[in-house]
Amino acid sequence: MTRLQRITNILLILLLSLTAGLYIFANLFHYTAYMESDVGAEAVYGMVLAGNNCLPPDTWVSSTENRIVSMPNLAAPIYKLCGNMNLSAGIACSLLILLLILCMVRFYAYVGYSSTGILTACLIPFILSAWNIAGLKMFALYACYYSPHIITLFLLMTAYARLLREKRIRIPSTILLAILSWLLGMQGLRGLAMVYLPLCAVEFLRLITLILINLRDRNEVKKLNFATPIWLLSLSAINYIAARIYAPFGEDTSSNFRKGIFKLFGTAIPETFELIRANGFATIVAIILLLLAVIGWWAIIRQIKTKPEIIAVFTILLSLILAMLAASFTTLDSTPRYYIMVVFVIAAGCGALASFMDWKLTSVLVTFVALLSVISITHAYTALIASDNTLNSTEYAMVSDLESKGYTHGYATFDYAMMLTTYSNGHLIVAPIQMDTMEPALWLTDTRWYPPTTDPSEEYFIVTTEATTPVLQNTLDSKGITDYTIATYGQYSVFFF
């Protein structure tokens, strides 16, 4: 390694440290900067888990997935130590960021990426997502929805690459991976779609290719090692069985073969790039990095003969492709977050370009990545930290006033319930209800927050907006409820009972 390469790596390490440090700081001290109820429910669930000895309570109503290996499960024991809901969630997200980076470093190093290539591949997901908060919530901010799946993907790819190189199964690591597969399966089928099926597809394509190459030589075909596909299929089966037993939630879907191609090009592909084209500058950056990544993926293909384990990288690409095909050729609703692997696909390609191509081309790429890192860090600091207006927000003022008046629980529609609970740092429980019936809205909530479990003699409140205020008033009139007062906080009305 030349002196210039060492200086380059030091610069990239510094930039990666600053990037990770920025998002960690945002999670720890500016957790409510972009708060909304879906994210707030993750933090609240961490607190609920802590109150049940870190075990999922029967009273919690999940959404489309259970939470077994997730940010709330990591936040729960931290909450028991610090007693601060938002801080425990922020610490959990920060730990997931560090674990993801460590898993990426370990994998890319094992398949032969250079130090420069590894650092490039670790930086680019954060660079591409810097202008899209929704994308960052998937693996870096506030909820880290898909961090467990992506971390598992890199762990399993590393084990797969090691198996291809050593041609032997390690029992201790296999047992640990089987346990992780079971736990991830208990959450739902997303792990199967994002992790296990793509890896099985890579192994299937590898075997088919080897069989076709050696088709005329039966002895060579007989020498093929089928322990690897059996190993992968076993882990996948464990994940699937757990999902079928423990994860009853999900969307009913059917095939969409007739219109699938139109949905693919009309919805899935455009939504894939929504994650990396938040504005004109971000779009230009994404196009340039995408083109460089294409060259990098060609470099990966050229390395397969000398580094057969590098084929594991294709799992990242197939994870994205399968997500797009699943959303297109079924009636499953498509949303940009399903395609978060696009930033890791581009990162893997650019990392390969920095590892396996001429140093002159690598130096141009690294200079570009370093410049983008500085720009993305500056933008993220402004958006996540400098622009955080939590303490001056109407929501914060409202929950602070309600706390000072002695209230401990109230109700709102789901869009506001978990958000307001998080603004209060869990001191004020705002449970979701349906305004037209005043019945519980059983979605990411706890049944203990409603009558008859709650104390009927205790005062409570209902928060409404301009749109829901007349709906609630009509409901109260129809039920003959007249004993209440109303206060206004900005765009919110609060009914006190």
Question: What average pLDDT score do residues 93-112 get?
Answer: 97
pLDDT > 70: what percent of the chain?
A: 96
Q: Which residue has the higher pLDDT, 462 or 5?
A: 462
pLDDT recorded at residue 70: 95
Question: What average pLDDT score do residues 184-203 get?
Answer: 92
| pLDDT at residue 249 is higher than 60 | no
The C-alpha atoms of residue 471 and residue 487 are separated, in whole angstroms, by 17
Phi, psi of 67 (to 5 degrees): -120, 105
Question: What average pLDDT score do residues 348-371 get?
Answer: 89
The C-alpha atoms of residue 283 and residue 281 are separated, in whole angstroms, by 5
Asked whether the whole model's pTM tops 0.95, one would answer no
Residues 442-466 have pLDDT tens digits of 999 999 999 888 887 889 999 999 9
Residues with Cβ within 8 Å of 144's Cβ and at least 6 positions away in sequence, in order, are: 70, 71, 92, 93, 96, 97, 137, 138
Closest CA to 181 of 236, 227, 233, 228: 236
pLDDT recorded at residue 179: 96
Residues with Cβ within 8 Å of 36's Cβ and at least 6 positions away in sequence, in order, are: 415, 419
pLDDT recorded at residue 248: 57
- Name the average pLDDT for the chain: 91
- Residues forming a β-bridge with 487: 494
Q: Residue 237: which pLDDT band, with cuts at 50, 70 and 90?
A: very high
| pLDDT at residue 250 is higher than 70 | no
Residues 366-405 have pLDDT tens digits of 999 999 999 999 999 999 999 999 999 999 999 999 999 9
Residues 293-343 have pLDDT tens digits of 999 999 999 999 899 999 999 999 999 999 898 888 887 777 888 899 999
| pLDDT at residue 255 is higher than 90 | no
